[in-house]
A and B are shown apart, each in its own frame.
Chain A
Amino acid sequence: MGAALRSRPIIPARPKLDRPRSRLIAFPITVLALLVLPVAAGLLGAALPAFGYLPVLGLEDFSLKPFVALLGAPGIGVSLALSLCAGLCTTTLAFLVVTGFVAAWHGTRVFRALRRLIAPLLAAPHAAAAFGLAFLIAPSGLLMRALSPWASGFDRPPDWLIVHDPAGLTMTAGLVVKEIPFLFLMALAALPQVEAEPRLKMARALGYGRVAAFLFAVLPPLYAQLRLPIFAIIAYACSVVDVALILGPTTPAPLAVRILEWQADPDLSLRSLAAAGALAQFVIAFLAISLWLALEWLVARIGAKLTTSGRRFRRDGFLRQLTGVTMSLSAGLVFAGLATLALWSIAGFWAFPDVWPNALTLDTWRHLGASLSRPLDNALLIAALSSFLAVVLALGALEYEARTGGTVTTRALVTLYLPLLVPQIAFLFGLDMLLVALRFDGRLLAVILAHLVFVFPYVLLSLSQPWQALDPRYALIARSLGRGADAIFWKIRLPMLARAIATATALGFAVSISLYLPTLLIGAGRWPTVTTEAVALSSGGDRRITAATALVQACLPFFAFTLAALLPALLFRRRAAMRAGG
């Protein structure tokens, strides 16, 4: 790549184009048509019962009673606080570790090594990572077994409240170790776009320490690209259910878990309470994001002061060690957890404090093997189609904007993030009703559409920042060489964004694989996937089954992420300059 192109100013000026029409308008329109109706139906279905309207259960008067009931629910304050804290603490910790690590280790061997580990880390579903962590650190977990009784003196597990601790510390830890790889992936996808190398060189030349050079010169544009993923993490951590069930407090539980309980209560009148809770969940996510923005403002102010203070922060050795250790520790925890799961999946009876099971057996896998082949096919089909569709639609919408020079449609697409802020169970009720009324549920297309509602936001999220950060002057040069808009798209944008596109596809694939309730409810049970099987099976609480199904669930996204990492490198092996970043 020409050196001249690299020396662009930090904030590129968007070229002012008159706004030509484009037939690509079909893409944003398709997206809005396909997704807005389901999202609106879902949101209405979640909101109306909160105001006392659910005619099928005899609730027909609008009122605020459900909210009064919500505020009167025992321990509701603690539940709300737990959700808010989980969202903010998880995001803060994951952000600190990832930026710290990237700042301190960018361009080193350690960095490249961890980059290679990212596929398995990302692929492990949240629930699998949480189970792994629990099986590892609980008082009866593998760590304690390894230490007992010779070092600890325990011949029975100590009565320590580690997992399910009332403050939710273990839950937050479980979330942090899973969000770190996600944020790291997003940073990896964004790094090539912010031209880290020349910025770093300039800052180092001015005498700044390694970490400081990164924080002052690269982080600001990088952070701009990480913002949406960070919001997604906040919203996710505020409303997470599976990790909270496995590791979180129980007396009381975080809000999302309690909503699930109300929604699942046989007493159908509690549905309105659950709906009110869902709206509260929405508010919590919003509040958390606002608090994050306030924090962001504060840090930016402090950062600006530090930048102009003239200090060079050259002695950052301790910080480098610290970030390296925390990053490796967090990855190590996930891997150790997965290894523990693998061991459990072949364990016979395994008493405490034995470090190794009594016997090894393939019984669990044999039981599973027979029942998993069709669910495997279904999962693959649904995930491949929905992630492909999502990427095509997202690219089409982005290209439309590039050609017309607007951002209106992408702003409209932001509404599609709303489903991520509302608890799935509350949201799906309305969506299901819509599809049932259209006699459309239970079909493959309906399942894919429902998956698209959840997959598309993540795909757009991971695509739009790298897309917008691509230097527009590449297109200008191509144009001045006489190439048309289509050629620019196929020959310039697509290849240059290959890594980001592959990453987005893999992410969409992984999201689709992990969806349980949409597959079950919208698919009307006609399309069992590995995840519907896994969730149903692990509700029995047998560690062997739980472990084996979690590993199966991790396999498919693992292949997707590995492929995403290898494919761009293979496709462009003759074009070394495309291998940007790292």
Chain B
Amino acid sequence: MFRIFVAVSALFFSGTVHAKTPDPENWEAVVAEAKGETVYFYAWGGETRINAYINWAAGEVKERFGVTLKQVKVADTANVVSKIVAEKAAGRDENGTVDLVWINGENFVSLKEADLLLGHPWATKLPNYRFVDEEGKPTVKTDFTVPTDGLEAPWGMAKLVFFYDIARLQSPPKSMPALLEWAMDNPGRFTYPQPPDFLGSTFLKQALYELAPDPQVLMQPADDETFSRQTQPLFVFLDELHPLLWRQGRAFPQNYGTMRRLLADSEVDISFAFNPADASSAISAHELPDTVRSYVPEAGSIANSHFLAIPFNANAKAGAMVVADFLMSPEAQARKQDPNVWGDPTVLDVAALPEEDRARFDALDLGVATLPPEKLGLALPEPHASWMERLETEWARRYGAGQ
């Protein structure tokens, strides 16, 4: 009986000791606490380049801060959400298995709304956050129009960019109406990933922005009336486009990986990605021919950011903060932007960086198929998350069940 009592109280006390959340405003204390911790970083593992970059970061944080960083490679961030939900349901409020997770958009919104994230604004208090470009890159503060409230640390930028092979196509269509016209002359040469794949959904959002009577409305939550009015031209467009798609729209590629493959095999003439440097990286990995180039629609294109978040019950919170801060540092961000490493655009305001750090970015060769930042066009904001949900549901109803 006594032993059980001891065991239970040990459990209780060890719980309370860890329950003190590290405060990034007292950074030295965070770094001190982090030393010796092991951070399990759940991150999508589908790209060897990205895994290698995280591996590099692991070596750096080990050397500089004594933090052991372990990437848990997942195929789908939803699996991580499942794990956190299961832990919450089982009452494990401490010593969770996930310390840091690579996340954005709807997964973030879900975790935030279910109170499954570390519940105070830690990210904006990280030392390196002062270099983040809040003005020029407003999406670092709002994830799918939902304020991040400092619950996730910006890690990289994404922007929708289209690719084509100049060996087969000279002047690609730069708007949705032009795309439809082009598809009439070239049936079977275009497609997009099946929503709710995030890239497929992004294509729908892009088309919605270009075709909606009043794109401003998209920033507000959708209701039945605004939704049907704003999306009416979109669905007219899709109804016309689908028979002209690859496989007559009777099958869709699953994700971006398949899109890249279709372009490489010349099954389609146009592909697109959410990373402006993607084609350059893919060329160096032998995945695309070196005649591929990129362009952005005349109206601009959808842009957003991706982030790092700490779950509510993370075991190594201080270590996770140290890692997130390091990944936000000019040095780590510059390396990440190098297309030979990864090619993911920085969240920092490069112009405002100290001379030495700015030089790191200036020295980068962005690659043959990457547009320079000034040619990337207008960054369109993500519509309010409610539009996405409705769009996906409506798409599944109209096109997801066969014709």
Cβ of A53 to closest chain B Cβ, rounded Å: 11
In the complex, which residues 31-47 of chain B have their Cβ closer than 8 Å to any Cβ of chain A? 40, 42, 44-47
Chain B CB within 8 A of A296 CB: no
A78 to B45, CA, bound (A): 33
CB <8 Å contact, A161 and B251:
yes
Mask of A34-70 contacts with B, CB within 8 angstroms, 1/0: 0000000000000000000011110000000000000
Q: A57-B114, A542-B287 are in contact. Are A250 and B252 (CB under 8 A)?
A: yes
CB <8 Å contact, B97 and A268:
no
CB <8 Å contact, B82 and A521:
yes
Where chain B touches its partner, the secondary structure class is mixed
CB <8 Å contact, B74 and A536:
yes
Q: A267-B389, A429-B86 are in contact. Are A252 and B401 (CB under 8 A)?
A: yes
Closest to A161 in B: B247
CB <8 Å contact, B45 and A536:
yes
- Chain B residue numbers with a CB within 8 Å of A73 are 396
In the complex, which residues 259-282 of chain A have their Cβ closer than 8 Å to any Cβ of chain B? 261, 263-268
CB <8 Å contact, A349 and B114:
no
- Chain B residue numbers with a CB within 8 Å of A516 are 75
Closest to A264 in B: B78
Q: A75-B402, A441-B97 are in contact. Are A266 and B266 (CB under 8 A)?
A: no
CB <8 Å contact, A436 and B110:
no
Closest to B403 in A: A251
CB <8 Å contact, B402 and A436:
no
A420 to B251, CA, bound (A): 29
Chain A CB within 8 A of B188 CB: yes
- Chain B residue numbers with a CB within 8 Å of A524 are 40, 83, 97
Mask of B72-104 contacts with A, CB within 8 angstroms, 1/0: 111110110111011111111000011000000
Q: Which of A185-193, A319-327, A527-535 contacts B (4 or more CB under 8 A)?
A: A527-535
In the complex, which residues 49-91 of chain B have their Cβ closer than 8 Å to any Cβ of chain A? 51-52, 55, 70, 72-76, 78-79, 81-83, 85-91
CB <8 Å contact, A437 and B90:
yes
Residue of B79, B91, B285 near A520 (CB, 8 A) is: B79
CB <8 Å contact, A433 and B89:
yes
Chain B CB within 8 A of A543 CB: yes
- Chain A residue numbers with a CB within 8 Å of B130 are none
Q: Which of B16-24, B256-264, B353-361, B366-374 contacts A (4 or more CB under 8 A)?
A: B256-264
Closest to B95 in A: A439
Chain B CB within 8 A of A139 CB: yes
Q: A266-B105, A367-B52, A524-B97 are in contact. Are A156 and B266 (CB under 8 A)?
A: yes
Residue of B106, B257, B389 near A542 (CB, 8 A) is: B257
Interface residue total, chain B, C-beta cutoff 8 A:
71
Mask of A513-547 contacts with B, CB within 8 angstroms, 1/0: 00011001100111010001101111111111100
- Chain B residue numbers with a CB within 8 Å of A351 are 264-266, 289
Mask of B279-291 contacts with A, CB within 8 angstroms, 1/0: 0000001111100
Chain A CB within 8 A of B233 CB: no
Chain A CB within 8 A of B250 CB: yes
Chain A CB within 8 A of B397 CB: yes
CB <8 Å contact, B400 and A74:
yes
CB <8 Å contact, B401 and A75:
yes
Cβ of A549 to closest chain B Cβ, rounded Å: 10
Closest to B80 in A: A525
A-side interface size class? 35 or more
Chain A CB within 8 A of B380 CB: no
Chain A CB within 8 A of B109 CB: yes
Residue of B82, B194, B399 near A429 (CB, 8 A) is: B82
Q: A252-B401, A351-B264 are in contact. Are A159 and B246 (CB under 8 A)?
A: yes
Cβ of A78 to closest chain B Cβ, rounded Å: 6
Q: A249-B251, A521-B79, A541-B260 are in contact. Are A436 and B267 (CB under 8 A)?
A: no
- Chain B residue numbers with a CB within 8 Å of A542 are 47-48, 257, 260, 285, 287
- Chain B residue numbers with a CB within 8 Å of A545 are 48
CB <8 Å contact, B46 and A538:
yes
Closest to A361 in B: B286
CB <8 Å contact, A540 and B46:
yes
Chain A CB within 8 A of B128 CB: no
CB <8 Å contact, B257 and A164:
no
CB <8 Å contact, A268 and B114:
yes
- Chain A residue numbers with a CB within 8 Å of B91 are 437
Chain B CB within 8 A of A391 CB: no
- Chain B residue numbers with a CB within 8 Å of A437 are 90-92
Among A252, A371, A517, A538, chain B packs the most CB atoms within 10 A around the CB of: A371
Chain A CB within 8 A of B138 CB: no
Chain B CB within 8 A of A396 CB: no
- Chain A residue numbers with a CB within 8 Å of B399 are 251
CB <8 Å contact, A267 and B46:
no
Q: A164-B251, A252-B400, A520-B79 are in contact. Are A537 and B289 (CB under 8 A)?
A: no
Cβ of B231 to closest chain A Cβ, rounded Å: 17
- Chain B residue numbers with a CB within 8 Å of A377 are none
CB<8 Å pairs between A and B, sample of 24: A56-B89, A75-B400, A75-B402, A140-B265, A157-B265, A159-B247, A161-B247, A164-B251, A250-B194, A251-B194, A251-B401, A266-B106, A267-B106, A268-B110, A368-B48, A432-B82, A432-B86, A516-B75, A520-B72, A524-B83, A524-B97, A525-B42, A536-B45, A536-B75
Question: A268-B81, A538-B75 known; 20 other A-B pairs, CB under 8 Å?
Answer: A75-B396, A75-B402, A78-B402, A159-B187, A161-B248, A166-B251, A250-B194, A251-B400, A266-B78, A268-B85, A347-B286, A350-B264, A352-B267, A367-B52, A429-B82, A525-B74, A526-B40, A526-B97, A537-B51, A541-B256
Using a CB–CB cutoff of 8 Å, the interface residues on chain A facing chain B are 54-57, 73-75, 78, 139-140, 156-157, 159, 161, 164-166, 245, 249-252, 261, 263-268, 347-352, 358-359, 361, 363, 367-368, 371, 425, 429, 432-434, 436-437, 439, 441-442, 516-517, 520-521, 524-526, 528, 532-533, 535-545
Which 8 pairs show the lowest CB-CB distances between chains A and B?
A: A541-B257, A75-B401, A540-B46, A525-B72, A266-B106, A536-B45, A264-B78, A536-B73
Using a CB–CB cutoff of 8 Å, the interface residues on chain B facing chain A are 40, 42, 44-48, 51-52, 55, 70, 72-76, 78-79, 81-83, 85-92, 97-98, 105-107, 109-110, 114, 187-188, 194, 196, 246-248, 250-252, 254-258, 260-261, 264-267, 285-289, 389, 396-397, 399-403
